[in-house]
Structure 1
Amino acid sequence: MAVDSGRRGHLEISSRAVERIAEVAARREAAVVRQTATFGRGLPHATAKVAGQHVRLDVDVVVRWGRPLPETAAAVRSLVAEHVSELTGLVVDAVAVDIVAFASDPHAPALTGTETRE
């Protein structure tokens, strides 16, 4: 028996769910290092802005020292867009990747800059 399309519900995906998918996708890039945090969230860290069926993402990552930055950012951008789109059905309008630190040893603390973010 077919259900009348007017009686169907709708699915709303929270921005936090989209952010979590993006963070996991970013870690799939071999050059990205996962960093845990004592307070707050570790890295990679994603922020999503969902508007209807569209999403824009900002992703902060730590990259292994010596890896080519443009190629790494492009790979992260592609992985995040692909996974978010595939798992949520949302249209990914943009993925901004910000390399916020470098790590020479994936288990060592990152070498961070002096930049402060608002």
Structure 2
Amino acid sequence: MAEDEDIHSADAGSRGALNVDDRVARKLAEHAAATTPGVLAYSAGMDRLTGRALPRARVLSAGRRIRVHIDLAVRWGRPLPPLVRAVHDNVTTALRDYGSYHVDGIDLAVTKLRVAIDGPTDDETDDAR
């Protein structure tokens, strides 16, 4: 019982530290980007196997500071400034809240535009047709 009281009364900095691997930070950034309305998940052919699916993030971290570059796929005709702002905000929030990072910068690149069509595309189809 006294041991529990010592743990709770100790200064938070003296109890330990949280270390988040860069792979986790990358996954946090990719998930935050992917769940932003207007961002499409995209992969074609061998992309899924080679890690070239979109959204795709690269991170550079030093301690608790991080910089992120994310490649995105978006639907043609969508206004980009509000979409990019939403992705930026979602990724910043995810890295700050879940990874305890200070985000120095986020670079976003729209590398694939998808034309809106009726029905699923090749990469959105279900094999059970």
2:30 equivalent among 20, 23, 28: 23
- Greater fraction of residues in helix: 2
- The answer to whether the aligner puts 1:11 opposite 2:11 as a matched pair is no
Alpha-carbon separation, structure 1, partners of 2:34 and 2:115? 16
2:49 equivalent among 31, 39, 49: 39
Residues 47-58 of structure 1: matches in 2 within 5 Å? 47-58=58-69
Residues 58-86 of structure 1: CA distance to partner in whole angstroms, max 9, x if unpaired? 01100011001122111111110011111
- Residue 90 of structure 1 deviates from its aligned partner by 0.9
Q: How many residues align?
A: 110
- Residue 38 of structure 1 deviates from its aligned partner by 3.8
Structure 2 unaligned runs (5+)? 124-129
Give the structure 2 partner of residue 2 of structure 1. Answer: 6
SS of the residue 2:110 aligns to: strand
Alpha-carbon separation, structure 2, partners of 1:109 and 1:17? 29
Structure 1 unaligned runs (5+)? 111-118
Give the structure 2 partner of residue 98 of structure 1. Answer: 109
Give the structure 2 partner of residue 113 of structure 1. Answer: none
- The answer to whether the aligner puts 1:108 opposite 2:118 as a matched pair is no
Equivalent pair of 1:103/1:109 in contact (CA under 8 Å): no
SS of the residue 1:35 aligns to: coil
Alpha-carbon separation, structure 2, partners of 1:40 and 1:105? 26
Equivalent pair of 1:35/1:109 in contact (CA under 8 Å): no
Identity of aligned residues (%): 27
